[in-house]
Amino acid sequence: MAKDEKTSKAVASLASKALKDPKALTPAEIKKLAASALTQAPDKPAAAKKAPAKKAPAKKAPAKKAAAKKAPAKKAAKKASKK
């Protein structure tokens, strides 16, 4: 929020009107009033960014050996050759 921000007469009038009869405001007037209030609210302090936590290197599981391919059974080979 800047030091020189002040509520304008129009916005002060809207605020007064809203307090007296909230249903009397139009959506545009509500937006104007909300924008003024948000502009004049103090700025939030910047959150300190934390460095991401370093993860311990994951231990790799030993690689699984591929199963050796089996030779076709002799009986199956003989049946296939007879047909």
Q: In the predicted model, is pLDDT for residue 83 greater than 80? A: no
Residues 9-49 have pLDDT tens digits of 888 888 888 889 989 889 999 999 888 888 887 777 777 66
**For position 28, what pLDDT does the model report?**
92
Q: How far is CA 9 from CA 6, 12, 68, in A?
A: 9, 5, 87
Residue type, 31: K
**For position 26, what pLDDT does the model report?**
92
**For position 35, what pLDDT does the model report?**
87
**For position 42, what pLDDT does the model report?**
74
